[in-house]
Amino acid sequence: MSRPQVIRDLESQAMKQNVPEFKIGDTVRVNTRIIEGDKERIQVFTGTVVARKGTGISETFTIYRTAYGSSMDRVFLIHSPRIAGIEVIRSGKVRRAKLYYIRGKSGKATKIREQFEAGGESKETSQETSEKK
């Protein structure tokens, strides 16, 4: 095997398979493993996805949130073993690839419209109702 092939194999083994699909503008909840001495705990970080960068094992995403009067950005590696899980709370509808402009804003200026499913219900629910008829 050549060196690039070995690297690709190692990267494919380290990549997570169960990463949920999310995009810029979505509100997500990231469960992070925090190790303090011998103890391990889960810390939750909730915020809006501002950016996604990279591909493969080095893909990252940036989350922005305002809490207790202070704003913060946090960058996560998608395939990091420190991330216990990612949950999509709300889908946002935006027309930009990066939402860095919301950093200095507050209040209504930071609002992102919600993306709704067609018909207001999920695909599974609409299929079940059509089968009952």
CATH number reported for the structural domain that contains residue 88 in this entry: 2.30.30.790
Ranges in the chain, pLDDT < 50: 122-127, 129-130
Please report which residue ranges of 1-133 form alpha helices under DSSP H.
Answer: 3-14, 123-132
Reported pTM: 0.78
Two tokens, residue 58: 């080095």
How do beta strands 27-36 and 39-53 pair?
Answer: antiparallel
Instruction: Write out the residue range of the structural domain in which residue 87 sits.
Output: 3-132
Given 3-state DSSP classes, what are the helix, strand and coil percentages for the chain, each rounded to the nearest 5? 25, 40, 35
Q: What domain count does the chain have?
A: 1
Instruction: Say what the pLDDT of residue 121 is.
Output: 55
Instruction: Say what the pLDDT of residue 97 is.
Output: 93
Instruction: Say what the pLDDT of residue 13 is.
Output: 86
Two tokens, residue 36: 């303090």
Instruction: Say what the pLDDT of residue 125 is.
Output: 44
Nearest to 63 by CA among 26, 101, 112: 26
Task: With H, G, I as helix, E, B as strand and everything else as coil, classify residue 40.
Answer: strand
